[in-house]
Each structure stands twice: as C-alpha cells, then as structure tokens.
Chains A and B, each alone.
Chain A
Amino acid sequence: MADKIKPPRMRLGRNIKQDEVIKVKVRFEHPSFTGLGQVDTETSPAFNRAVPVSFIRNMLVYYGEDLISRFSMTSAIADSPLFTFKIKATKEAPLKVVFVGNAGERWETVKDIKIS
C-alpha cells in the first residue's frame, strides 16, 4: 500500500501524427483501501468496516476545453494504479487528467499534444 500521495504523472508517445489514435498512460501514487476487514469466513457478512475508506473516486480527461472521458471508480481499484487509455490526436491542445479523491481532493497533470 502506498504510504503517501505523489502528484500524478502522464506519459505520451512521441512523433504524434494528425488523427492518430495514441496511448496515454497515467500513474497516480495514491493509497487505495476498501476499508474492509475480514471478520470470520464462517459468518455472514464476512467483512466489516475496519478502517476509513480511501480511494480515487473519479478520473477526468480533458482534451483542450472538452471533457472527453471520465473514469468513475470505487475502493476496489488497486493502490497507485496505472491507467492506460487512448485518444485521437485531432488538434494541438493540452491534455489534462484530473483525479478526484473520495474526500473531494483534486490533483491534475497536463501535457501538450504536439502534432509532428
């Protein structure tokens, strides 16, 4: 489990061509925990709330001014996840990925898409 939160990092490919579909990788070191502890496998329910829950609730992807994707998550997403998704490079514009934590905190990472 990641102990502390580090700013998200984004990686894009080089030599992006017009209308090319490119892979975007975003790593966010964020502790994620369901908060559930196993009580007893014989009893039902087998889990209870052991510690406060902590997770990334939303990942928002902006291309220029437009919101093009949104990943809505639960506490069942792994610790410090690496997200990979694709976008179509139609214009030279900043690509911004915003993360929202379960308590409403926000982090973001931005990279410019330059078409060669």
Chain B
Amino acid sequence: MTDLTTRRDFLRYAMVGGLMVPITGVSLIDRAYAKAFNFITDPENPNELEKMHMAKVTLPPVVEDGSQAPIQVEMNHHPMDDDHYIKSIQLVSFNDPVQTKGTFYLSPANGEAFLSTQIRLNGGESEVWVISECNQHGRWATSRYTKVAAGGC
C-alpha cells in the first residue's frame, strides 16, 4: 500500500478525488434524468413499444383565449388490463406561472386512456408537455407547441 503521509501527496490525491466526485455525479444525474422519461425517437417510424405509448395530443396551433385552451390526450393503442395499464396523464407547461395543470389518475376500469379538458396558458409561444405513466414501462413524454394570443394566467 502507498504511503500517503506527506502533505504534498495528500493534497494531490485530495484534488483528484475532489474533481472526480462532481464529474461522476453529473454523469449519474444525466443517466437518472434519461431514465426518468422515455421519448419517441422517430415519430414517423416508431417501434412497437413506442407506438403503444405514443399519446395522440390535440391542441390547436393558435389559441385565441389563453384562459380556455382545449386539450385532448388519447392513447388508444395502449391496453388497460389489470397488469398493464396507463396509471396517469399529466399536463405541464413550463412557460406559465402555474406550470402543472393537473394529473389524471386512471385505472383498468377506464377501459381506455383518454382525457379532454381546458387549461390556462400564458400569452406568447407555449410548449405543453403531456407525461403519461405506464405501470410497466415508466413515463413517456411528448409535447405540442401553440401560440396564445391573449394570456389566461
């Protein structure tokens, strides 16, 4: 075993160790973030798993009144069986002062993952994220852009 008794050696190893902690930390966070959400890599040509978890989001490209923005989320390719179903659908827009709009928790008794409602969006360009959670395959995120003429927040 190497003797680390000299002050110079101790400082050298401490510096290398101090650098390694943040580097590995960042890498782990990135990996954790990547695992937290699944994305459809190619929406034109999805594989079977992606097709099953692809949410069909209907949001007008231009919303006149931001206090009544209609949104519809449909996942009719996904089964709603006791052992494999969509647990929740969450609506989020990061441009707004109130970012999370709501979370709809589902069960197999719903028969199909479907939600239609109206949300408030801030004025200007907005990206609305829809995060659906499958009990077997985790969270899937997709987004739609819209332009809001009159902000509704």
Contact = CB atoms under 8 A, between A and B. Distances in A.
Interface of A: 1, 21, 23, 32, 34, 36, 38, 45-47, 63, 66, 68-79, 81-88, 90
A84 B115 contact: yes
Contacts of B109: 63, 66, 68-69, 87-88, 90
A71 B153 contact: no
Contact of B116 (A36, A69, A83): A83
Contact of B100 (A36, A46, A74, A79): A74
A71 B67 contact: no
Interface of B: 67-69, 72, 80, 93, 96-112, 114-120, 151-153
Query: Across chains A and B, which 8 residue pairs bring their CB atoms closest together, nearest first?
Result: A88-B111, A78-B118, A21-B111, A84-B116, A73-B102, A76-B98, A68-B109, A86-B114
Contacts of A69: 104-107, 109-110
B98 A84 contact: no
B114 A84 contact: yes
Contact of A73 (B72, B96, B101, B107): B101
A85 B104 contact: yes
B14 to A, nearest CB: 39
